[in-house]
Structure 1
Amino acid sequence: MNAARSPLIRQYSRRLVAEILLKGEPISRADLARTTGLSKQTMSEVIGELEAGGWVRPVGTTSGGLGRSAVTFEIAADAAYSLGVDLGGTKISAALADLVGGIVAEATEPTDPRGGRHVLMQIRQLALRLAAGKGIDAGRIGSVVVGTPGVLDQESGAITLLPNIAGLSEIDVPAILAELFGRAVAIENDVNLAMLGEAWQGCAQGCENAAFLSLGTGTGLGLIVNGKLARGANGAAGEISYLPIGADLYSPEALAVGAFELEVGSHAIVRRYLSARGSGAESVRDVFARLEAGDPVAASVLDDVARSLALAVAALCSILDPEIIVMGGSIGMRPELLERVQAALPAAFARPVVVVPSLLGNRAGLVGALSSAVNSLHNALFGIAGLPGDLALPAIARAAE
């Protein structure tokens, strides 16, 4: 059937061709036809449509049989761009990627202390500076994803549970960002994005089922189940703070903050240390410094925390059966803690468990935001409208020059 006769067939053909071009080297129409199984006529129509739209361009020729040559094509990487943003209480990181997912510009700066709309305007200005620094028209930014440690209220657009940035719980964040960027802007939980980052460019590549367990001031969990980010019925999948692991599961504080967070978060580690020793630590950093100096109390505290973390990992494995669990966050990545968790696991779970530190470190959330933005742009340009199924991201993105 001629692709022009059916919008659905035309979309499907366009998707097939785009997915190959996004992942591979320059290729001719004839080779594309052989690879996809599409007819030469359909292939000519699809390439013509993509070339007319500016998404594909000819880049050379290849020799064929009997002295004939064929034009080769590639994705026009500079045709459109995606923006990923990692919004934190003390700093904002942003990165700009081209159409094939290559990072072309990246920057980090302190978060505007005035909060609220000032922070959202700061995100827009940061995007403009990144684009201008590479001579890119900001109008070609076709997709924007912002990661935040807070929770987005779908009805009001406010971001709650974000104590370090004032004012975002009082305004409609997506609406204001859409006004500033001239397009819809997606807001996503930062730990979910960290999971996506590890799946795209980190240690969870190729995993259909994986978890990102973040431990810092608080706790968080990002989940990929059957190749998709799991959000749950109310967007609360991964609220591991409320896992029933702790000394007093029914206290008002446990109900408000979460028993597990009270057991293993940064404040819990300091509290454990002070309870055992009485003084000598004002922060988690102090506890780790004491550990390095050979303090047996610090070692005992981290042993206890590791045992609680091992119970959480055992619960995750029992319910989700992930291929890998990635430990992240300022505390979760510490090798002194990770080694203790790995040592405690055999006593808590019968099967072997793969627990590894984040490969991307503090860039996991930013890389995840970028992966989500690039994926969204690919599906908007080359996906099949009204049907499920995302285009797969290119496995390796080019580094910034």
Structure 2
Amino acid sequence: MDLLSRLGPSSRADLARLTGLAPHSITRLVEPLIARGLLHEAAPIAAGRGKPAAKLALEGGAAFAVGLSVMTDAVSLVLLDLAGTVEAARTERLVDTGIDRACHQIRRMIDHAVADAGRDPATLVGIGIGVTGYFIGDGARLNPPRLLDPWALVPLDTILADALGQKVWIDNDGNVAAIGEAMLGHGRSVRDFAYLYFSAGFGGGIIAQGLPLRGSHGNAGEFASILPVDWPQPNLEALRLTFAAMGTAYPDLHSMLAAFDVDHPAVGVWLDRSIPSLDLVVSAISAVADPAMIVLGGRLPPALAARIIDRVRFTNPERRGHHRPAPRIISSVIDGDAAAIGAATLPLRAAFFDPDGISPD
């Protein structure tokens, strides 16, 4: 099922070749999954000489998950089916950062999205939630920015599971966005990459051999910590403040991104300040992790990602006519809220694709 998730529809012969299993072993494995409605096998399509092969594919209608991204100014939601299709998506301003009122808003959003998508609530696997902040090393207690003070240092796992009435998976927004990219984006072709998450803060995640590298405390990918304290943080809140200083004020990131103009002079000023910091971050990632790719994502507009890619540089001196191989820097291909999509993959991953994956909190 993991192979079908990453590669798309594949024949039994394809799966036998990729796994090294005998064809009869593949049949023994897939037939019960077909019987349970988790896979379907399309009619064979002739393509050239030889007997046409039927393709196996995940059955999207068999199960779905809810993904949520809780930000300082907004909450985003997606419904993601078993085949990796986003069936519903919506973003709202966060009415109140208090957890009780926020959960009331989230439950209403979930109910409306499930009804609008025509999904059977009985096929809901669980809810994945990405929250901005870092873990303090004590369960699911996060230390978010000041604007999310009610969410700080409390057991979010039990609080949110009780409030929402479902199994809940908790992770920080950078990690879940990287996981989403691994399952639905560049991770389908590259098994090792780093993901830079741009939002009110700056962070990310690391994918190694297709799996998230979380670290001892769940904070691998906290790339902001690479920077000295007096260096500019290359986050979008700093960009919003730059817009305000140059005469174009936005009340929050949601408003700025809705009206974003990549050619505004404020963008050039922010880039001048941010590029040295990003140069240091990507150089450190390249030297320490040696990934094939560094993906720019989060709430970063694609046009701004393109300008960053054009300017950012690695520290990579030449030796004997050679530079150390460096990762490609590329924009995310996830269409929509990367953290919400990635969060939705957590329950599906644990239930269907990764038997050693993250357990529900």
TM class, shorter-chain normalised? 0.7 to 0.9
Aligned counterparts, 1:27-106, within 5 A: 37-38=21-22, 46=29, 49-50=32-33, 53-56=36-39, 75-106=58-89
Bigger radius of gyration? 1
Q: Does 1:314 align with 2:297?
A: no
- Name the residue aligned to 1:373: 347
Equivalent pairs, count: 337
Q: Does 1:242 align with 2:225?
A: yes
Q: Secondary structure at the match of 1:322?
A: coil
1:174-206 CA distance string (max 9 Å, x none): 113323455431111111222223333334542
Q: Is the 8 A contact 1:174 1:184 kept in 2?
A: no
RMSD: 4.4
Q: Does 1:118 align with 2:118?
A: no
Residue 205 to residue 62, structure 1, CA distance change in 2 (3 Å): closer
Q: CA deviation at 1:25?
A: 4.7
- Name the residue aligned to 1:9: none
- Name the residue aligned to 1:358: 332
1:227-275 CA distance string (max 9 Å, x none): 3212111122122222244xxxxxxxx3xxxx44x4544676789999x
- Name the residue aligned to 2:311: 341
- Name the residue aligned to 2:205: 222
Residue 362 to residue 165, structure 1, CA distance change in 2 (3 Å): farther
Q: CA deviation at 1:113?
A: 1.4
Residue 273 to residue 83, structure 1, CA distance change in 2 (3 Å): closer
2:159 maps to amino acid: I
1:241 maps to amino acid: A
TM-score using structure 2 length: 0.73
Residue 154 to residue 25, structure 1, CA distance change in 2 (3 Å): same
Cα separation, 1, equivalents of 2:141 and 2:113? 27
Cα separation, 1, equivalents of 2:104 and 2:90? 16
Stretches of structure 2 that go unaligned for 5 or more consecutive residues are: 47-52, 251-255, 318-322
- Name the residue aligned to 1:141: 124
Q: Secondary structure at the match of 1:109?
A: strand
Cα separation, 2, equivalents of 1:88 and 1:303? 26
2:347 maps to amino acid: A
1:88-110 CA distance string (max 9 Å, x none): 22222222222222222222222
Q: Is the 8 A contact 2:84 2:184 kept in 1?
A: no
Stretches of structure 1 that go unaligned for 5 or more consecutive residues are: 1-14, 64-69, 246-253, 391-401
1:339-388 CA distance string (max 9 Å, x none): 5633xx16x323455222333366222222233333222137xx4xxxx5
Identity of aligned residues (%): 23
Q: Secondary structure at the match of 2:178?
A: helix
Q: Is the 8 A contact 2:298 2:337 kept in 1?
A: no
Q: Does 1:303 align with 2:272?
A: yes
- Name the residue aligned to 2:147: 164
- Name the residue aligned to 2:134: 151
Q: Is the 8 A contact 1:174 1:186 kept in 2?
A: yes
Q: Is the 8 A contact 2:199 2:237 kept in 1?
A: no
Q: Secondary structure at the match of 2:191?
A: coil
Residue 172 to residue 118, structure 1, CA distance change in 2 (3 Å): farther
Q: CA deviation at 1:143?
A: 3.0
Which range moves more in the overlay, 109-118 or 164-173?
Answer: 164-173
Cα separation, 2, equivalents of 1:371 and 1:76? 15
Residue 117 to residue 159, structure 1, CA distance change in 2 (3 Å): farther
Cα separation, 1, equivalents of 2:69 and 2:146? 16
Q: CA deviation at 1:34?
A: 9.5
